[in-house]
Amino acid sequence: MVPPPATTGDAPRLVILGAGVCGLYAALTALERGAAVTLVEKESRPGGLAAGQQHGENFYDLGVHMLHAFDREVFDTCAAAMGDERHEVALHAEIKWAGNRYHYPLRGRDILRGIPPLTLARCLAGLFLAEIESRLARREDARDAEEALVQLYGAPLYEFFFEEFTHRYWGLHPRDLSAEFIRRKMPRLSAVDVFKNLLQKLRLANPRDTTEGALRFETLHYSATGAETLPRALAREIEARGGTILLDSEVTAVRHGGGRVTQVTTSGGATLPCEACLSTLPVPLLLAGLDPPPPRAVRESAARLRYKPIAVHGLLVAKPRCMDAHYTYFRDRRFHRVGEPKNAGLRVTPADHTVLIVETTCEEGDADWTGEGLADLLADLEAEGLCSPVEVVEHHLLRARHGYPVFSRGFEPHLAAAEDFLGTFRNLRSTGRQGAFTYPNMHGAMRMGARAAEQLLAAAPADLPGA
């Protein structure tokens, strides 16, 4: 990145709500364009869901967070900020499938070995029929995620692979999830895509609009201190360029008038006048902070937007290694993914110990959220041969209330009502995973932040000082 132009008294003042990677990258983008930038972050460290925590001499990630190089501009900026702290990692991910561990995403031969022959025949026949029907019949749009999955993969594969796991992960049956969830979130099985691609080449199937899954071969970027390095490095770069980051500061009010945000106040007593405001807060929290408040109908719609909490158990384990992969997905355990970041280069003390990052989705107040379910979780880890309870020498519970947007059936009009109201403000953008109620990966969230910052700073001259 080239040094930004120095800000002046006439520089537009941009206040960014939230210092996750989306907000941090938005701040760098705005500083490059000469804005005066202040970020407001309620936590004691930047990073949001990509933040890590230090306990003693070790670092624990809030889930698996590694940098991709798909967006070259984003990657180059992040790599420059991380400097020598960054190192490359060849992705090694697995899924526990039919009693064995296989490469993730599943390869064709793994699907064949993992599904009993008669079940496999039924699944392939169902997939074939679903594709033929999509080609020859005009079908109504799916009413929910269950119908969308059946239309996409056929009933046998849906019942065998997707139904139970989706229900357990989200706490909602696929019938209670929106069909939009399948288009936005559900990754493809690469083995299924091979078969689908064959059908498409034979003109027996139409291309489908679903999100792409993980690549088979991929280089990731990580650090000896884990995920915390990237947001810390971006924050350091922001402050070096004249930006301000207010940590331990919760937004208490977003004041507005005449269709413009005019001021943000914080729990730390700061009053921040602004010409533009970029929010990465969960949509309901942003709307709840507006002063004066939104119309009642908008507030009621915001209350219908749900986020899935996550609880991550960081374990220091008294053994050199628990598994070969960087992370492994599990379909029938209390946890859905276990990461061992030491395998990706995390520094662990003592050196003959390792760290496990055990991810669960939950609800506030349940046993996973409070940590009361730890004994059952450790029993599952032991059953998987990863570690025994006596080998766990430290346990740290990391939590996030707003982990993932929940695309429950019928959420669309409520989100539209919130977005339509927020769209009436000329100098406000709500973006990122929580702020746009969507599912970007880490580099995708940073790109969203950059675009929002660019849009705000390209506002009509009358909205900015010095015009």
Residues 63-87: pLDDT tens digits?
989 999 999 999 999 999 999 999 9
CA–CA separation, 264 vs 278, rounded Å?
11
DSSP letters for 384-447: TTS--GGGEEEEEEEEEEEEEEE-BTT-HHHHHHHHHHHTT-TTEEE-HHHHHTS---HHHHHH
Say if residue 212's pLDDT is above 60.
no
Structure confidence at residue 245 as a pLDDT band (50, 70, 90): very high
Rounded percentage of the chain residues whose pLDDT exceeds 70: 88
Structure confidence at residue 297 as a pLDDT band (50, 70, 90): very high
Where on the phi/psi map is residue 274: left (φ > 0), alpha (ψ -120 to 50), or beta?
A: beta
Q: Which runs of consecutive H residues, i.e. helices, occur in 205-323?
A: 229-240, 283-289, 296-303
Count of alpha carbons within 13 Å of 13, Cβ hemisphere only?
Answer: 14
In one-letter notation, the amino acid at residue 36 is A
Say if residue 414's pLDDT is above 70.
yes
User: Interhelix angle for 190-201 vs 117-136, to 10°?
Assistant: 40
Structure confidence at residue 103 as a pLDDT band (50, 70, 90): confident
| Residue 58, SS3 per DSSP | strand
CA–CA separation, 134 vs 127, rounded Å?
11
Rg (CA), the chain: 23
| Residue 326, SS3 per DSSP | coil
pTM above 0.85, yes or no: yes
Q: What is the pLDDT of residues 217-234, one digit of tens each?
A: 578 999 999 999 999 999
CA angle (389 as vertex; 388, 392 as ends), nearest 5: 100
Cβ-contact 286, 294 below 8 angstroms: no
User: Interhelix angle for 296-303 vs 412-422, to 10°?
Assistant: 130
Domains annotated for the chain, with CATH where assigned, are: 13-50+67-85+220-305+408-463 (3.50.50.60), 105-201 (no CATH), 307-406 (3.90.660.10)
Q: Number of helices (H) and strands (E), helices first, in the chain?
A: 17, 20
Task: Give the closest residue to 277 by CA, choosing from 431, 420, 417, 402.
Answer: 431
